Amino acid sequence: TLTIGSNILVAHDTVTVSGINPSGYDGIFALTSRTASTVTYALPEDPGAYASGGTVTWPNVLLFNSAICYPSEL
């Protein structure tokens, strides 16, 4: 579980975690749960105790407009 502050993520969103020491916490993960200020994801193995650092990023997809991607033929 990472404390990341206020967020709009939901379970199953994909995030990229980087810059954590130890690096076993880093990678691209699907969230298993979240609260207003934390996110949780599963690790394949225990990387050991958290030491320092870390950034969590996720896609900022605002709008998908199929008419732009697939314009109708006239």
Model pTM above 0.85: no
Please give the backbone phi and psi of residue 20, each rounded to the nearest 5 degrees, phi first.
Answer: -90, 145
- Confirm if 37 and 6 have CB atoms less than 8 A apart: yes
- Dihedral, CA of residue 59, residue 61, residue 66 and residue 69, to nearest 10: -60
pLDDT top residue among 3 and 74? 3
Spatial distance between the Cα atoms of 17 and 9, rounded to a whole number of angstroms: 14
pLDDT (0 to 100) of residue 62: 54
Q: Which two tokens stand for residue 65?
A: 């407009």
What is the tens place of the pLDDT at every residue in 13-56? Answer: 889 999 999 999 999 999 999 999 999 999 999 999 999 999 99
